[in-house]
Copies of this chain bind each other. A is one copy, B any other.
Amino acid sequence: MVLVETRDERGARARVVFSTRAPVDVLALDELCTAVGWPRRPPAKVAAALAHSYLVATLHLHTIPEESSSGDYPQPLRSSLVGLARATSDHAFNATIWDVLVSPDFQGMGLGKALVERLTRALLARDIANVSLFADASVVTFYKEMGFEVDPEGIKGMFYFPPPRSPF
């Protein structure tokens, strides 16, 4: 699913492509997390988290030949990960969206919104009625604009943080 036509960092013709089936390069995701200022995470744990997510939605930048028409969808010359969101689920009733991120080079183009909306739609299409997420204060408005509601009917998001281990 082509979201926008753009140019890659070398000025070549490129497209940002949404998918829920594209393989994810864990090291590319690690670079993306670093680029947006997230703490680093062990690659083996990231790989496990991706493997055990119900859906992993990606944005890849596909560099394409200059001569291809806008309608066809050629094999890209290069492909790089520029965005990701994933959802855990019980495959039946609920899904929770985690790790929504878009490369700083591709922010401000509506791609984060497109990513979450399309992931949400993919979940609803699989008959998952309860789509939830935990939003940092700074992105609550972003999700509200997409139709997500804070604390509907007084339901509260809660977290358990284990007490720090004694050093003794």
Q: Which residues of A contact B (CB under 8 A)?
A: 41, 45-46, 48-54, 86, 88-94, 96, 98, 120, 124, 129-137, 140, 143-144, 146-163
Inter-chain contacts of A52 with B (CB < 8 A):
54, 89-92
CA distance A46 to B15 in the complex (A): 41
Give the oligomeric copy count.
Answer: 2
Inter-chain contacts of A50 with B (CB < 8 A):
90
**Are A49 and B88 CB-contacts (below 8 A) given A135-B156, A147-B160, A155-B157?**
no
Inter-chain contacts of A92 with B (CB < 8 A):
45-46, 48-49, 52
Which of B48, B147, B156 lies in contact with A157, CB distance below 8 A?
B156
Cβ–Cβ contact B158 & A49, under 8 A: no
A157 to chain B, nearest CB (A): 2
**Are A90 and B48 CB-contacts (below 8 A) given A151-B156, A156-B157, A159-B152?**
yes
**Are A131 and B160 CB-contacts (below 8 A) given A45-B92, A48-B90?**
yes
Which of B54, B131, B150, B155 lies in contact with A137, CB distance below 8 A?
B155
Cβ–Cβ contact B155 & A130, under 8 A: no
Cβ–Cβ contact A157 & B150, under 8 A: yes
